[in-house]
A = this chain, B = another copy of it.
Amino acid sequence: MSRTVILTRREVFSSSHRLYSDKLSLEENKNIYGKCINSHGHNYVLEVSVRGGVKEDIGMFMNITELKEILKEKVMDKLDHKDLEKDVPELKGIVTTTENLSIFIWDQLYPSLKEFLYEVKILETENNFVVYRGE
């Protein structure tokens, strides 16, 4: 009987964005997003967790090298050193709150990681962070 662990990989990506909804007036945008309607940026800290049963002989259920490659292809190459508003086609029309980014990253990773994917956590700053678990 295998034991179930949660394995997490942490990555950092540096992107620019602003919070602005085209469906709202300038005034409404200001009220909701405050100074975040200006273009600015972050070193986003991303923690992706996968969950599965450890194979006894090799002491892993998924190789972290494989996880890193998936993160590189599906997330880092798309978001790192990019303008989230302009350079990421899949994010067109989506307000890039940390909440929406965590869901976006989940959706990017799910086809590769499937039922192993357990949690996506993003720290926008050291003081604000969001967790999404696919619910």
Contact = CB atoms under 8 A, between A and B. Distances in A.
Interface of A: 3-12, 14-17, 19, 21, 23-24, 32, 34-36, 38-43, 49, 54, 57-61, 63-65, 80-83, 86-87, 94-100, 102-103, 125-133, 135
Q: Which 3 A-B pairs have the closest CB atoms?
A: A41-B41, A16-B16, A59-B97
Contact of A12 (B35, B36, B125): B125
DSSP class of A's interface residues: helix, strand, loop or mixed? mixed
B127 A9 contact: yes
| Copies of this chain in its oligomeric complex | 6
A27 to B, nearest CB: 14
A5 B103 contact: yes
Contact of A38 (B60, B82, B133): B82
B126 A58 contact: no
A34 B84 CA distance: 18
Contacts of A133: 4, 6
B128 A64 contact: yes
B40 A15 contact: yes
